Amino acid sequence: AHPGVFSAQERSDLQNYLGAVLYDQNKFQEALTAWNEYIQQVPGDRATLVDMARAWTALKQPIEAAATLRQALRMKRDDVDLLAQLGRSLMAAGDPSGFREAASLFREAMALQPSRVLRFELAQALGLSGRCEEAITELRAILAATPGWPPATNNLAWLLATGPDASLRDGPEAVRLATTVRNPEIIFTLGTLSAAYAEAGQFDDALQTIREAIAIEQARPSSEYLKDFQTMQASYEARQPHRDPRLAGGQGS
């Protein structure tokens, strides 16, 4: 309202503060508009770039979030949180080449600060970039250190049941693992167990489990897994195991 009252630097700072206020009000797009004006004047403000990346993430725009995180990391590379955030943004973008880069980023972050969560995310990135054997190795390492940890147990069972490489699949072990984490309240664990049964040749058990999962999903207001579960059911009815095409690293199943 009174631009003449403020210096150019003060006006720039006010744009930054305005972005922060709008972000706190969940007005992410408006916050980005304010921050963009600020960053044109102060391109080296790493903290604001990090805030902008968080706003892009809140708007479910992972490609834009990744581009902004790259700018921030050019100023300070040894930031575990930002390396991991960039990896997660690339995973969310869903491009196979991004999965490969995400795996490298999670390894880089782990070299700075090892953690179970980072190792788990590394395993996910490896699996989705077609490197299932390495993913299995990482998941087994997690379970050796923390036996029975449900996320790693479920994902290892999934890889052993649905991966593209027959030499890596193990239906009986997948059933053993998936049975321990089966939880109808965590619906994808039923999908994992059904896939394990199918890989082990237990198609009646696979059908019973996937039908239970479908019934739960159909009763929900919105369904994330229903279409996938129906595809799995069709495979089991044809006495065929399920293969996850995502694990082929973008090369097809």
Q: Which tens digits make up the pLDDT trace of 20-36?
A: 999 999 999 999 999 99
pLDDT in the model for residue 250: 52
pLDDT in the model for residue 253: 32
Task: Name the band, by pLDDT with cuts 50, 70 and 90, for residue 50.
Answer: very high
Task: Name the band, by pLDDT with cuts 50, 70 and 90, for residue 193.
Answer: very high
Task: Return the amino acid letter for 153.
Answer: T
Q: Give dist(CA 243, CA 227) in Å, integer.
A: 15
Greater confidence (250 vs 192) lies with: 192
Q: Is 60 left (phi over 0), alpha (psi -120 to 50) or beta?
A: left
Q: Are 239 and 207 in contact (CB under 8 A)?
A: no
Q: How many CB atoms lie within 10 A of CB 186?
A: 13
Sequence-ordered list of residues with C-beta below 8 angstroms from that of 125, at least 6 positions apart, any chain: 87, 91, 99, 100, 102, 103, 106
Greater confidence (12 vs 72) lies with: 72
pLDDT tens column, 196-246: 999 999 999 999 999 999 999 999 988 889 999 999 999 999 999 999 999
Sequence-ordered list of residues with C-beta below 8 angstroms from that of 140, at least 6 positions apart, any chain: 156
pTM, entire model: 0.89
pLDDT tens column, 134-189: 999 999 999 999 999 999 999 999 999 999 999 999 999 999 999 999 999 999 99
Which phi and psi (to 5°) does residue 88 adopt?
-65, -35
The rounded percent of the chain whose pLDDT value lies above 90 is 88
